[in-house]
């Protein structure tokens, strides 16, 4: 039949956007991360941010794909100094 060989373009798009969100999480010092942090998630992590009323199309897309990262990611306790007993998810 031809075509580009993508089975589901919606899932492919979500995966590519999730990759960008992962880069945003890992590189908080980048220019894009600093701008988005100033606009949308000043005092909390990226995956806990709201879409908001005046969010850009990029931010709406990032929030849409953030559920994919949230479902597949795990966190380590480490030394325990940054763990909040009441707010952190202990069981998936």
Number of domains in the chain: 1
Query: What's residue 31's pLDDT?
Result: 93
Higher-confidence residue of 36 and 5: namely: 36
Q: What is the pLDDT of residues 15-50, one digit of tens each?
A: 899 999 889 888 989 998 899 888 888 887 777 777
42 lies in a domain?
yes
Domain presence at residue 20: yes
Which single residue is written with the structure tokens 């220019």? Answer: 31
- Taking only the tens place, the pLDDT of each residue in 65-88 is 888 887 877 777 778 777 777 877
Q: 3-class secondary structure for 30-91? A: CHHHHHHHHHCCCCCCHHHCCCCCCCCHHHHHHHHHHHHHHHHCCCCCCCCCCCCCCCCCCC
Higher pLDDT, 16 or 7: 16
Task: Note whether residue 7 is domain-resident.
Answer: no
Residue 48 lies in a domain: yes
Domain hosting residue 37, numbered range:
15-71
Q: Read off the pTM.
A: 0.69
Whether residue 30 lies inside any domain: the answer is: yes
pLDDT exceeds 70 at position 92: no
Is residue 46 a part of any domain in this protein?
yes
């Amino acid at each position: 039949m031809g075509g580009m060989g993508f089975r589901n373009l919606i899932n492919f798009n979500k995966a590519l956007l999730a990759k960008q969100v992962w880069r945003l999480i890992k590189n908080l010092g980048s220019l894009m991360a600093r701008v988005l942090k100033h606009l949308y998630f000043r005092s909390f992590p990226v995956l806990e941010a709201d879409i908001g009323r005046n969010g850009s199309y990029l931010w709406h897309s990032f929030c849409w794909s953030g559920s994919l990262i949230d479902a597949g990611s795990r966190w380590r306790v480490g030394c325990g100094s940054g763990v909040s007993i009441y707010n952190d998810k202990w069981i998936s």
